[in-house]
Amino acid sequence: MFIIGELINGMYKNVGQAIRKRDKSIIQEIALKQIEAGVDALDLNCGPLSENPLEDMCWLVETVQEVVDKPLCLDSSKPRIIEAGLKIIKNKAIINSTSADLEKLEILVDLAKRYNAKLIGLTLSSKGVPQNKEQRLELAAEIVAYCSREDFSIEDLYLDPVVLPINVAQDRQRDILDSIQEFKVISEPPPKTIVGLSNISQGASQRPLLNRTFITMAISFGLDAAILNPLDNELINAIITSELILNRQIYCESFLKAYRKR
Ligand code: THG
């Protein structure tokens, strides 16, 4: 499982405030804590309230890079912000994300190729969130077809079915899990799959229980990667145990080491 730490997101009050005040120490501490927990990469998101998202993103990249030597995941819906981040990232970058819209694919697949970055493709379009599995697969196939045509390696493509909160979309969850499995048959070699895990429990009580139950199920449907809170120990234990039971290759060595130490 490829794990991306979600905690550097302006959606969190302390992070939003640290970004506004240009308080490096808070951001660097959150970065290091996630690295210690064994993440493979760090998501960087200025949050919905950022007034200068381009400057904020560049400041986040520079601040985190001072203390961390791991891939960074540029989380923004605006291609110009992603490009600004790519220009200053020293390590490998992950573009988070493109949608299935052609205007976005054109810009972001080109950027991913030029900067040798991985690319997350949301199965979303300007028409909105897909209402069922078939629509998700159609959008996924459009993203894969575009990447193949442009010679972007499908193994560097992570398809995201877009996890919806359980409290507004209880009847959609089974479709989302099935999509994770079915994305794999779109091409050979297959694309990878990813979810933003905490979406499932937004606005719900029992968030940790929902998160770890969902990830356990998603792993059994073949999930490759997740953006999540790596400081939730029970969540990490559930991931390790799921992969152990499925005898899946664990590509996150540090989690495996953590498990063996117990
Ligand atoms: N797919 C991809 N990228 C993503 C998402 C996705 N990036 C953003 C998001 N979804 C994943 N990251 C988060 C980070 C935080 C929360 C949810 C998803 C979260 N935050 C608290 C809340 O909203 O309740 C913040 C409040 C607080 O604690 O201060 O839940 O799906 N590719």
3-state secondary structure 128-141: ECCCCHHHHHHHHH
The rounded radius of gyration (Å) of the Cα atoms in the chain is 17
What is the CB neighbour count within 10 angstroms for residue 234?
Answer: 11
Spatial separation of the C-alpha atoms in residues 97 and 99, rounded to whole Å? 7
* 218 neighbors 243 (Cβ within 8 angstroms): no
- Domain locations in the chain as residue ranges: 1-91, 114-262
Q: Is the CB of 75 under 6 A from ligand 1?
A: yes
Q: Is the CB of 120 under 6 A from ligand 1?
A: yes
Averaged pLDDT in 10-residue chunks for the chain of 262 residues: 98 97 98 97 96 97 98 98 98 97 98 98 94 95 98 98 96 96 97 98 97 98 98 96 84 56 54
pLDDT at 248: 83
Which CATH fold topology does 114-262 show? TIM Barrel (3.20.20)
Spatial separation of the C-alpha atoms in residues 183 and 37, rounded to whole Å? 29
Output the CA 260–ligand 1 centroid distance in Å.
Answer: 30
Output the CA 92–ligand 1 centroid distance in Å.
Answer: 22
* Neighbour-count burial of 260, counting CB atoms closer than 10 A to its CB (0-12 exposed, 13-18 middle, 19+ buried): exposed
The full DSSP string for 51-117 is SSHHHHHHHHHHHHHTT--S-EEEE-S-HHHHHHHHHH--S-EEEEEE-S-HHHHHHHHHHHHHTT-
* 160 neighbors 121 (Cβ within 8 angstroms): yes
Angle at 71 between CA 70 and CA 77, to 5 degrees: 145
The full DSSP string for 28-53 is HHHHHHHHHTT-SEEEEE--TT-SSH
Q: How many H helices and E strands in the chain?
A: 10, 8
Output the CA 224–ligand 1 centroid distance in Å.
Answer: 18
pLDDT at 72: 98
Spatial separation of the C-alpha atoms in residues 122 and 99, rounded to whole Å? 5
Q: Is the CB of 160 under 6 A from ligand 1?
A: yes
Which protein residue's CA is at the shortest distance from atom 19 of ligand 1?
198
CA separation (Å) from 151 to 40, 80, 97, 112, 121? 26, 22, 18, 11, 16
Measured from the Cα of 14, ligand 1's closest atom is 29
